[in-house]
Each structure stands twice: as structure tokens, then as C-alpha cells.
């Protein structure tokens, strides 16, 4: 293949219809190099041909939005002349094959998206999903992915400050690695990938180009086969040291009048970067592959154009300033080459020693992929919403020892302490981390401003699998709720949509429903979605992952000193804001009891908005210093988390009594899950203020008890010592899958 | 010189912070020196060959030259290291933090060697360290036995010396900091990386070269959850400015609001 260059449309993943469209438009058959270029750029990974239509529905406008979807990353105004730049991206397929390098290069890729905008990356967060903890491969994948993130993030000096690790049998063959990066830049210095000016120089800087990751975008747009080991060459190898030099060199050039545009080389390598930069600026580009420094001898033009070698950036430099800019790179120990010029004819032209080897219209190459038209899903009987909720097939007795149940729940794979993970990440470098992982939502200071930024993540596979609309809406609500618990106003969202094969009607339908749920929640909560990424074909042997939207929320604190953390303090009153009862269906407790999932609890977006506003007000007023949302593990799980975080116990009254009297199960009240719920700790003399805020926002409010001591007690229902709880909670993660 | 910020205080100690390719704590260190302590400080390129204007040169944390081969193994050959050696021989202060400590060990300016952490994983967490020698320019604002709370963040921080060397270090009181529990006991469970004899920081015989694995620059402001790291910077300030005062009749060092040395709460 390397020598013969004899390629068919199917080899590069193009359909017959797509191939015909190419021939019709360029009025000839594309050659092997051109076909390869279409193959990667018209893959789902690059063209979003399956998801574009849906993504347009997501709200992306807002008063603070400086850059919405369409650039390397989105940006919002956070005051003081600063912009926060944010994006989340997946690296699922490479991580399934080679977890360490797959995850490491995922970090590298998202960092380049951020500093391509001129922003200094200030934080990373990652959402990881793995399969059955008992499966022998799960531990290998988990250790590899966490090790890869630590290897890359720690070395480049960007703190990994937040994250989630979820286990669900649906991810056993297809783990998910979604990495979010946040950056800061003076808002008048945002760099865009908008090139212009015929004659300006096209400079390639960073790593030399090798055969690694040839056509990785096409690889990421197909199902994994059983011969995954043979796909290893499609996974790239990361060099975080080189990336660190690239960051510093590129940031030194921000604001330089001779720097016209910057584009990172990610999926589709040089092909993607030159095409994007030409299509974006509505101009043309001419590149000679002979000028590209290589790592290996004998590479063909096609290989150079399709390589996904890491740590490379494309920089457009004003004509005449080339040698000065190249000297800056040299000072940082970076190699750079002038590989071509911008033109004004709208054509991407690839030369090899002066001979044209590919010549294609930039906009067509970039955006010409026909959008996918979904098949009508087969008519499946939809449950009548008026019918009562499904009752469990078999009875579920209320446990005798609810304390023991709480301990088991806190030791569950999805709930136990993540300290063994986040201690492997440098979460303090750059000295902005005010509230670290393990203390609730991460709070970062913005040096020199008095403001703070908060990162929150949301996404719940179990709910998405049961009800994609609710799952999509809940991912947005949860991410915003996490931010609200710190006392911050959510100002921007970024999302990563992880799904199976979109051409399967059930997968398509779930994608549509998830996006609709996210849209409605983002509108209800008034937060724009400024960037995102779609990862499809997450399936193996025809079995897809559960639909998995991961949402990241950026929150803004006007006064960084005024924020709440998850841990209780001594002498507080504990309250529940939001409804008291929870649902066992779709809960961790249900999973623990091996109870079949039914419908998830309904999500009332108006109530969600009011609960979040209420918490925010109480934190801003200084009434509440501790807050965490009720998620996996339910109300008792939230109380335990708050107690474990600081080692301060809590003694509750029988707050379950009224619910139980009205027919609720006590285990559903304690461990059931549901949205729009937050546990807060207030100064004990501010009970009136809590009640008043709850009334003002029409939020149900229940006084739970008082903090202090070294036990978690709920009247005569449950009493466990913090030491015993901590023993299970803190040590379980390192022993997952043992036995 | 890459960047320079002049201090606002009347009395000043001139600090230099070396930037190797791959350093990543140089800006954090500079922030503490200039924004918190209001001292003049420069970032210094790894290619600089003249450090004669500096009272104290800091080798910051990070991954110098990617820590390829071995942490600090390539950085020791940087041109700036010849100047660092001269500065050390001259009796000025040379201070290695985390990766900087690894570089000083590789360069032979401090004894011993660094191994991978006993757990074979990168570890980022708050730890306690006990001051075992308060008669160094870096610790004289504390007192022996004081317990400080500081963050660590490293993968190759297991300090090693041979039994003979260890005895010599003990005898010459070169062991400055030891990992310990909150009560100051250097127990095995309080040792986060398997360092021999729980060593977290050592100095050279002349006591002017000092290296430690914890990050004092990450705990010099209350908002970050602790201020014990300030004590080390303040030790350097008062010691060096006393020397200035002795030589040029300058005023006494500016009083800095030193925080108590133990158990500063946070998180």
C-alpha cells in the first residue's frame, strides 16, 4: 500500500455517493493523495456529517460569548479584560487500543486547541468511563489511561483539577476518555485560525512528521474490530516536553503583529490544518511536502499529508517576518519550516518538489461532506406516559441494617473516593487551585483580579440509557449544579457526545433525544454551549456504549473568597434544598441491590434553576459555607461525602418520617437519586436566612440536623462511625476488581 | 535575563529563577517572590553564564529537558550550571525545589541520588515535614522540631544515599527536612515516597546549597490552603538582607508578617 498508492474510495471510508459527489464537483476522479485527504476530512471525526444538523440546535449565544463553536475552542468574557477559553474533546478509540498513549495524546490535543487561541492553558479536567470492574482488561485500561493523563499533564505544567471516573458494563470494550481544557487570554489577544493575505508564509513548527497515526481520523470514525492490536500504528505517541516548548513559544508570539493565524494539527494532520485555515479565511493555500521535515526516510506525499504525528502547529506569518519568527521558535529549541504560502484562489494545492500532486477547492474539501439523513427508526412501542411507572418485577425488601447498606454504597465503584486517581495528577501547579479535587467543585483563582473560576462536570450513563432526553438534560443540569454548589454562576458549557454507530436507528434516536434534552436544559438554565466534540462509532462487535453526553460547565465567582466547599464544618446546620424523596430506579443503590432499571426520576428544569439560584444566593450572602449536590448515593451518600471530606460528622433528626408516613420507602429517601437537590451546611444561627431564601425561590427545604462529632447519625435509623465509613470509602478504589 | 520585576521594598534581596526548557514552576516561584514578598527577581535563561548579580538563585520545579533519561540528568549540562557552581562556591545561595533538587543532586552540588517513588506513581498531596536543622539560611526563621505543612508533586522523589553517606549527613547535620506525621514523628506511613531516613531536604556542607522535594511556593498565601512555605523564603530574606546591612549599612530587614510554623489550616 505504501508503495503502490492504489486506493479505492472504500479504503478511505468514503461511500459511493460521497465519491460521486467528489467526482461531480471537481469534474474528474481524485488521485490517491486527494482521495486520502477526502477520506480523513469527510470522516465523521472531522466533518461531523452525522451530528452537524443536531449540533446547530444547541444554544451558543450569550452576552459573555466572544467565540462560539467553529474555532479551535470557545471563549467567554470573564471581566477584567480577560477571556476564558474552553473545550472538551474525546480520545476514546486510541485509548481503547493503547490506553497510556491514547490518553496522553488526548491531553496533548486539547491543550493545542486552547493555546492555538492564544490562551495559556490553566486547567485540565477529564471524564473517564470504564467497563465492568471485574473484567480483567478494566484495571489495565484504568491504570493506563490515568497514567497517560498524569504523564502528559504533569510534565506540561497544567494542573488536572477535576474529573470523574465511572464504571458501567456498557464500556467494557469501549472506554471513554474525554478531556477538557480551560485557558486564559486577554480578550483583545484571542488568536483565530482565520488566515488571509496571499503571500503570507505557512510555517510548520514542532515535531518532525512520521508515519505514526496515519489517518487516525478515519480510524476514530469506524467501529473497533477484533484485530485492534493491529491498529496500533494508528495511535500516536506523545512528547509532553515538546508540547511545553510549543506552548511557551506560541504564547510568546501572541500579540505579535506578524502572527496572522494559528491552527493546531490534530485529527487529519497537515491535511486538516491547511484545509481548515484556507476554508476558514476563504482563501487558498499552497504547500510543498518536500519542505516538511520528516522522522523517517521514504515517506510518500500521501503519508506526509495524512500523518497525525503529535506536537505540531501550523502558524501563518506575515510575508517578510519569516526569519524573525523562526528565530523565536529556535530560541525555544523548536524546529520550524516554511512549507508554503497563502494564496487567494480558494484552492488547497499540494506540491512535491514543485509538481502539483493534489489540487482541491478548500471549502468543498472542508465542508462538502454530505450531511447524513437518518433512516426512520423502526416503530417501537413507546411507553404510554400516562401509565404508572413500572414497578419492579420482583419485590425489593428494605434492608434491615441501613448503616451497613450505606457502607456498601460508599465502597461501590462509582462512589468510593477518587483520591488514588487525583493524587497522581499535579493539581496544584500554576498556584491557582483554591479548592482542590476531593473538596467539591474545583475553584481556581484568577491572579490579580479577585475573581474565581469553577469547573463542574455532568453525565450519567444509567439515566441516559434509560431515557436519553432526561440523560442529556441532566448532564447539563448536573454540571451547572456542581458549579452552583461552589456559589458560582455558570457562564459557559462545553460538551462531548459519545455514541455508537449513528447509522443505526436506535443510536441515532438516542443522539437526537440527548441533544434535545441538552438544548432544553441549557436554555432553561440560560447557559450557552460554546464548544464541543462528537465521538461516534464507540462500539465493538455491533454492541454500542450507552449514550454518553459529558458536559463541562465553567462557573464565575465575582469574589473568589466567597465560595462553598463540599466538607462540613463544626457547628453547622445541615439542610436539604429540593425535594426529599428519591428514586431507586437508575440509582447506584438500585445497582447495588441488583434491581432492574426503570424510568429515571423526572427532571423539572424550572425547579432545577430555582434550586441552583437559591444555593448561589446563600453562598454569596455568606450564609452557606458547605454544599454538595445529591447525586450517586442519594441523600445519605451526600451527607457522608460532606462528613468524610473534612472529618466532621453529622447528627440528623428523623427527617424521613413525613415521607415514610406518606408512603415512601425509607431506603428510597436515604439512597434514592433525583435532580434539583443540594445538601448545604449553614452557620447554625442563620436558619432564618436559609428558610427565607428557600421561600423566596419556592424551593422545598428540609432541616436535616447539626454537624459535629465523629459519626453519621440519622435518628434511630442509621448510625455509623466516620472511621468505619472512611475505611471502606477511602480504600475501595485501589482494590476494584480484586477478589 | 528573560524577565525582570523590581521589588518595592527598601531592602531587597536579588533572586534569580532559572528556566530550563521544561521547567514549569518558575512563574509560580516568581509570583511568590515579586507579588507576595515584593522582592526583585528575574527569570534566568538556562543559557545564561553570568549570575554574579544574584544573592539567591532558585532552580524551580518542573521537568527540565523532559526529565528524559533521568530527572535532572540532562539539565546538569545546561550552560547556566557552570555559573550556578561558581555561585555556590562563592557562598551565595543556591536553592533547588523539586526538579531543581533533582538537578542539584545530578550536578553533584548536593549529595545522594533520586529514585522513583516507592509506590511507582506520581504523588501530589499535602505532607508534613519536620525541620531537623534550623541553622541554615533557608530555615533559620523556623526552629528545629517545627512541623511544616507543604505540598509535594513528583514521581522521582525517593532520596537515596549509601549508609556511609547517611552517617556523614547526620554527623554534619545536613539533613534539613524529614517527612513526618502531624505530630512530628518521622514514621514510615508518613513517608510519601520511600526516601531513606524520611529525608525531604538536604543542604551541602557549607549550608548555602539546599534542595527539597516539597513546594514552598505552593503554600505561601492563605488562599492556597497554607502559608508554611513562606517561612523558607523569609529565612532567606532576613539572612541575606542582614548580610547586606552588614556590608553597606542598610536598614534592618523589613518585618514580614510571618505566620506560625505549625499546622496552618486549610482544606
The answer on pLDDT for A583 being more than 50 is yes
Nearest CA among A279, A366, A307 for reference residue A33: A307
Distance from CA of A246 to the nearest CA of B (A): 11
Strand, helix or coil at B113?
Answer: strand
Rounded Cα distance between A110 and A88, Å, is 7
Strand, helix or coil at A65?
Answer: strand
Rounded Cα distance between A80 and A582, Å, is 42
Cell numbers of A367, please? 465542508
Of B21, B61, B123, the CB nearest to A333: B21
- pLDDT at position A96 is 93
Under DSSP, the state recorded for A673 is B
- pLDDT at position A10 is 86
Nearest residue on chain A to B68, judged by CA atoms? A241
The model's confidence at residue A122, banded by pLDDT at 50, 70 and 90, is very high
Which residues in chain B touch residue A439, judged by CB atoms under 8 angstroms apart?
267
Go through A111-135 and write b for each residue having 16 or more CB atoms within 10 A of its CB, e for each that does not: bbbbbbbbbbbbbbbbbbbbbbbeb
Whether the complex's predicted ipTM surpasses the cut of 0.85: yes
Q: For residue A273, what is the enclosing H or E element?
A: helix A269-280
- pLDDT at position A13 is 86
Class for domain A13-42+192-365, per CATH? alpha beta
Check if CATH label 3.40.718.10 holds for domain A52-190+431-557: no
- pLDDT at position A224 is 61
Say which residues have a Cβ less than 8 Å from residue A105's Cβ, sequence separation at least 6: A91, A94, A148, A152, A235, A236, A237, A238, A310
Per-domain residue ranges of chain A = 13-42+192-365, 52-190+431-557, 402-408+564-733
Task: Tell the burial category of A373 from Cβ atoms under 10 Å away from its Cβ (0-12, 13-18, 19+).
Answer: exposed
Say which residues have a Cβ less than 8 Å from residue A76's Cβ, sequence separation at least 6: A62, A64, A65, A66, A83, A84, A86, A491, A492, A528, A530, A554
Nearest CA among B61, B175, B201 for reference residue B124: B61
- pLDDT at position A721 is 97
Touching A: B residues 163-202, CB under 8 Å: none
Go through A645-674 and write b for each residue having 16 or more CB atoms within 10 A of its CB, e for each that does not: bbebbbbbeebbeebbeeebbbbbbbbbbb
- pLDDT at position A219 is 61
Nearest CA among B227, B177, B203 for reference residue B32: B227
Average of per-residue pLDDT across A90-109: 94
The answer on pLDDT for A386 being more than 60 is no
Class for domain B3-248, per CATH? alpha beta
Under DSSP, the state recorded for B34 is I
Nearest CA among B201, B188, B197 for reference residue B100: B201
The answer on pLDDT for A379 being more than 70 is no
pLDDT under 70 in chain B at which residues? 1-11, 240-267
A52-190+431-557 and A402-408+564-733 in the same fold: no
Q: What residues pair up with A285 in beta bridges, in sequence order?
A: A342, A348
Cell numbers of A253, please? 508570539
Strand, helix or coil at A268?
Answer: strand
pLDDT tens by residue, A632-677: 999 999 999 999 999 999 999 999 998 899 889 999 999 999 999 9
Alpha-carbon dihedral A370, A372, A376, A380, rounded to 10 degrees: 180
Count contacts between A and B (CB, < 8 Å). 86
Touching A: B residues 102-161, CB under 8 Å: 121-125, 151, 153, 155
Q: Are strands A678-683 and A718-721 parallel, antiparallel or unpaired?
A: unpaired
Nearest residue on chain A to B219, judged by CA atoms? A431
DSSP tally for chain A: helices H, then strands E:
25, 28
Whether the CA torsion B185, B191, B194, B199 is positive or negative: it is: negative
- Min mean pLDDT across A2-6, A271-275, A453-457 is at A2-6
Is B25 a residue of the active site? no
Is B98 a residue of the active site? yes
- pLDDT at position A43 is 87
- pLDDT at position A320 is 95
Percent of chain A predicted with pLDDT > 90: 80
Q: Does B77 touch chain A if contact means CB atoms closer than 8 Å?
A: no
Active-site residue identified among A50, A91, A93, A280: A91
Nearest residue on chain B to A158, judged by CA atoms? B24
Of A424, A428, A447, the CB nearest to B122: A424
Rounded Cα distance between A459 and A461, Å, is 7
Question: Hey, are the CB atoms on B63 and A154 less than 8 Å from each other?
Answer: yes
- Min mean pLDDT across A92-101, A210-219, A700-709 is at A210-219
- pLDDT at position A52 is 86
Rounded Cα distance between A566 and A362, Å, is 51
CB-based contact A484:A564 (threshold 8 Å): no
Rounded Cα distance between B259 and B240, Å, is 20
pLDDT tens by residue, A559-574: 999 999 999 999 999 9
pLDDT tens by residue, A532-550: 999 999 998 889 999 999 9
Question: Hey, are the CB atoms on A157 and B31 less than 8 Å from each other?
Answer: no
Rounded Cα distance between A626 and A635, Å, is 15
pLDDT tens by residue, B87-133: 999 999 999 999 999 999 999 999 999 999 999 999 999 999 999 99
Distance from CA of A425 to the nearest CA of B (A): 6
Q: Are strands A347-352 and A336-343 parallel, antiparallel or unpaired?
A: unpaired
The model's confidence at residue A275, banded by pLDDT at 50, 70 and 90, is very high
Distance from CA of A240 to the nearest CA of B (A): 7
Which residues in chain B touch residue A429, judged by CB atoms under 8 angstroms apart?
24-25, 28, 61, 153, 218
Alpha-carbon dihedral A710, A712, A713, A714, rounded to 10 degrees: 160
Distance from CA of B124 to the nearest CA of A (A): 5
The model's confidence at residue A216, banded by pLDDT at 50, 70 and 90, is low
The answer on pLDDT for A296 being more than 80 is yes
Question: Hey, are the CB atoms on B65 and A436 less than 8 Å from each other?
Answer: no
Q: What residues pair up with A529 in beta bridges, in sequence order?
A: A493
Rounded Cα distance between A201 and A338, Å, is 6
- pLDDT at position B260 is 34
Rounded Cα distance between B248 and B244, Å, is 6
Which residues in chain A touch residue B225, judged by CB atoms under 8 angstroms apart?
434, 436
Q: For residue A505, what is the enclosing H or E element?
A: helix A505-525
User: If phi over 0 gives left and psi between -120 and 50 gives alpha, with beta otherwise, what is residue A575?
Assistant: beta
Per-domain residue ranges of chain B = 3-248
CA distances from A632 to A260, A414, A584, A588 (A): 48, 8, 11, 6
CA distances from B124 to A122, B1, B98 (A): 17, 31, 12
Distance from CA of B219 to the nearest CA of A (A): 9
Is B244 a residue of the active site? no
The answer on pLDDT for A114 being more than 60 is yes
- Per CATH, which fold does A402-408+564-733 belong to? Phosphoribosyl-aminoimidazole Synthetase; Chain A, domain 2 (3.90.650)
Which residues in chain A touch residue B217, judged by CB atoms under 8 angstroms apart?
431
Q: Are strands A160-167 and A120-130 parallel, antiparallel or unpaired?
A: parallel
Amino acid at each position: 500500500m505504501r508503495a503502490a498508492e492504489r486506493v479505492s474510495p472504500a479504503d478511505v471510508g468514503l461511500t459511493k455517493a460521497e465519491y460521486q459527489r467528489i467526482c461531480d464537483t471537481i469534474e474528474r476522479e481524485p488521485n490517491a493523495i486527494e482521495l486520502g485527504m477526502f477520506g480523513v476530512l469527510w470522516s465523521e471525526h472531522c466533518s461531523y456529517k452525522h451530528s452537524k444538523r443536531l449540533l446547530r440546535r444547541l444554544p451558543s449565544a450569550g452576552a459573555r460569548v466572544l467565540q462560539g463553536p467553529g474555532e479551535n475552542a470557545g471563549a467567554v468574557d470573564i471581566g477584567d479584560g480577560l477571556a476564558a477559553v474552553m473545550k472538551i474533546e474525546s480520545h476514546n478509540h486510541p485509548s481503547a487500543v493503547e490506553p497510556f498513549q491514547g490518553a496522553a495524546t488526548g491531553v496533548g490535543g486539547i491543550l493545542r486547541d486552547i493555546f492555538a487561541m492564544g490562551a495559556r492553558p490553566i486547567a485540565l479536567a477529564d471524564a473517564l468511563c470504564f467497563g465492568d470492574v471485574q473484567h480483567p482488561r478494566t484495571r489495565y485500561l484504568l491504570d493506563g489511561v490515568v497514567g497517560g493523563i498524569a504523564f502528559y499533564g504533569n510534565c506540561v505544567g497544567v494542573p488536572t483539577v477535576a474529573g470523574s471516573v465511572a464504571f458501567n458494563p456498557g464500556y467494557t470494550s469501549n472506554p471513554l476518555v474525554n478531556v477538557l481544557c480551560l485557558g486564559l487570554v486577554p480578550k483583545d489577544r484571542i488568536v483565530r485560525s482565520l488566515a488571509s493575505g496571499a503571500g503570507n508564509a505557512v510555517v510548520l513548527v514542532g515535531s518532525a512528521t512520521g508515519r505514526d497515526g496515519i489517518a487516525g481520523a478515519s480510524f476514530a470514525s469506524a467501529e473497533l474490530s477484533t484485530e485492534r492490536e493491529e491498529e496500533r500504528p494508528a495511535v500516536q505517541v506523545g512528547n509532553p516536553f515538546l508540547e511545553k516548548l510549543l506552548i511557551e513559544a506560541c504564547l510568546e508570539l501572541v500579540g505579535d503583529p506578524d502572527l496572522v493565524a494559528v491552527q493546531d494539527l490534530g485529527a487529519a494532520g497537515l491535511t486538516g490544518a491547511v484545509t481548515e485555515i484556507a476554508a476558514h479565511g476563504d482563501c487558498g493555500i499552497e504547500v510543498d511536502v518536500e519542505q516538511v521535515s520528516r522522522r523517517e526516510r521514504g515517506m510518500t506525499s500521501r503519508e506526509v499529508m495524512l500523518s497525525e504525528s503529535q506536537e505540531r502547529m501550523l502558524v501563518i506569518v506575515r510575508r517578510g517576518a519569516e526569519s524573525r519568527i523562526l528565530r523565536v521558535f529556535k530560541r525555544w529549541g523548536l524546529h520550524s519550516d516554511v512549507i508554503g504560502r497563502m494564496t487567494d484562489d480558494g484552492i488547497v494545492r499540494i506540491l512535491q518538489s514543485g509538481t502539483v500532486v493534489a489540487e482541491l477547492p478548500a471549502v468543498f474539501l472542508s465542508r462538502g461532506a454530505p450531511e447524513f439523513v437518518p433512516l426512520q427508526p423502526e416503530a417501537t412501542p413507546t411507553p404510554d406516559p400516562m401509565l404508572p411507572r413500572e414497578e419492579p418485577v420482583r419485590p425489593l425488601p428494605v434492608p434491615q441494617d441501613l448503616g451497613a447498606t450505606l457502607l456498601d454504597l460508599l465502597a461501590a465503584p462509582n462512589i468510593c473516593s477518587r483520591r488514588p486517581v487525583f493524587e497522581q495528577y499535579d493539581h496544584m501547579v500554576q498556584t491557582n487551585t483554591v479548592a482542590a479535587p476531593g473538596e467539591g467543585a474545583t475553584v481556581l483563582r484568577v491572579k490579580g483580579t479577585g475573581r474565581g473560576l469553577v469547573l463542574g462536570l455532568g453525565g450519567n450513563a444509567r439515566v441516559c440509557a434509560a431515557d436519553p432526553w432526561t440523560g442529556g438534560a441532566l448532564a447539563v443540569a448536573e454540571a451547572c449544579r456542581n458549579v452552583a454548589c461552589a456559589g458560582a454562576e455558570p457562564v459557559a458549557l462545553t460538551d462531548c457526545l459519545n455514541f455508537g454507530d449513528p447509522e443505526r436507528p436506535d443510536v441515532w434516536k438516542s443522539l437526537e433525544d440527548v441533544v434535545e434534552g441538552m438544548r432544553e436544559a441549557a436554555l432553561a438554565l440560560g447557559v450557552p454551549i460554546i464548544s464541543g466534540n462528537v465521538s461516534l462509532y464507540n462500539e465493538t462487535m455491533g454492541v454500542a456504549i450507552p449514550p454518553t453526553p459529558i458536559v463541562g460547565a465553567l462557573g464565575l465567582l465575582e469574589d473568589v473568597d466567597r465560595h462553598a466547599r463540599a466538607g462540613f464544618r463544626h457547628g453547622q446546620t445541615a439542610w436539604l434544598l429540593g425535594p426529599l424523596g428519591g428514586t431507586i430506579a437508575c440509582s447506584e443503590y438500585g445497582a447495588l441491590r441488583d434491581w432492574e432499571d426503570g424510568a429515571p426520576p423526572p427532571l423539572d428544569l424550572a425547579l432545577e434553576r430555582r434550586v441552583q439560584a437559591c444555593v448561589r444566593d446563600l453562598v454569596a450572602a455568606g450564609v452557606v459555607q458547605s454544599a454538595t449536590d445529591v447525586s450517586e448515593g442519594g441523600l445519605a451518600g451526600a451527607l457522608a461525602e460532606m462528613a468524610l471530606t473534612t472529618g466532621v460528622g453529622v447528627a440528623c433528626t428523623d427527617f424521613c418520617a413525613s415521607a415514610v408516613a406518606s408512603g415512601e420507602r425509607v431506603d428510597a429517601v436515604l439512597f434514592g437519586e433525583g435532580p434539583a437537590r443540594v445538601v448545604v451546611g449553614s452557620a447554625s444561627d442563620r436558619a432564618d436566612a436559609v428558610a427565607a431564601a428557600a421561600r423566596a425561590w419556592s424551593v422545598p427545604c428540609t432541616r436535616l440536623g447539626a454537624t459535629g462529632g465523629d459519626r453519621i447519625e440519622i435518628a434511630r435509623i442509621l448510625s455509623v462511625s466516620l472511621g468505619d465509613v472512611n475505611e471502606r470509602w477511602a480504600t475501595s478504589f485501589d482494590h476494584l476488581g480484586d477478589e | 535575563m528573560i524577565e525582570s520585576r523590581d521589588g518595592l521594598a527598601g531592602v531587597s534581596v536579588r533572586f534569580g529563577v532559572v528556566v530550563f526548557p521544561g521547567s514549569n514552576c518558575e512563574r509560580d516561584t516568581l509570583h511568590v517572590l515579586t507579588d507576595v514578598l515584593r522582592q526583585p527577581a528575574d527569570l534566568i535563561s538556562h543559557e545564561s553564564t553570568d549570575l554574579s548579580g544574584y544573592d539567591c538563585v532558585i532552580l524551580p520545579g518542573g521537568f527540565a529537558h523532559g526529565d528524559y533519561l533521568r530527572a535532572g540528568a540532562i539539565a546538569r549540562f545546561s550552560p547556566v550550571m557552570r555559573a550556578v557552581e561558581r555561585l555556590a562556591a562563592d557562598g551565595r545561595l543556591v536553592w533547588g525545589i523539586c526538579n531543581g533538587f533533582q538537578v542539584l543532586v545530578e550536578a553533584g552540588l548536593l549529595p545522594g541520588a533520586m529514585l522513583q517513588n516507592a509506590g511507582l506513581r506520581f504523588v501530589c498531596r499535602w505532607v508534613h515535614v519536620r525541620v531537623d536543622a534550623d541553622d541554615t539560611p533557608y530555615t533559620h526563621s523556623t526552629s528545629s522540631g517545627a512541623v511544616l505543612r507543604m505540598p509535594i508533586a513528583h514521581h522521582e522523589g525517593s532520596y537515596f544515599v549509601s549508609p556511609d553517606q547517611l552517617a556523614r549527613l547526620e554527623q554534619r547535620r545536613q539533613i534539613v527536612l524529614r517527612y513526618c506525621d502531624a505530630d512530628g514523628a518521622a514514621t514510615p506511613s508518613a513517608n510519601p515516597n520511600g526516601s531513606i531516613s524520611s529525608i525531604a531536604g538536604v543542604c551541602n556542607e557549607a549550608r548555602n546549597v539546599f534542595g527539597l522535594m516539597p513546594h514552598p511556593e505552593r503554600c505561601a498565601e492563605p488562599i492556597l490552603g497554607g502559608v508554611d512555605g513562606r517561612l523558607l523564603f523569609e529565612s532567606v530574606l532576613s539572612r541575606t538582607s542582614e548580610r547586606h546591612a552588614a556590608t553597606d549599612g542598610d536598614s534592618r530587614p523589613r518585618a514580614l508578617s510571618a505566620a506560625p510554623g505549625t499546622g496552618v489550616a486549610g482544606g
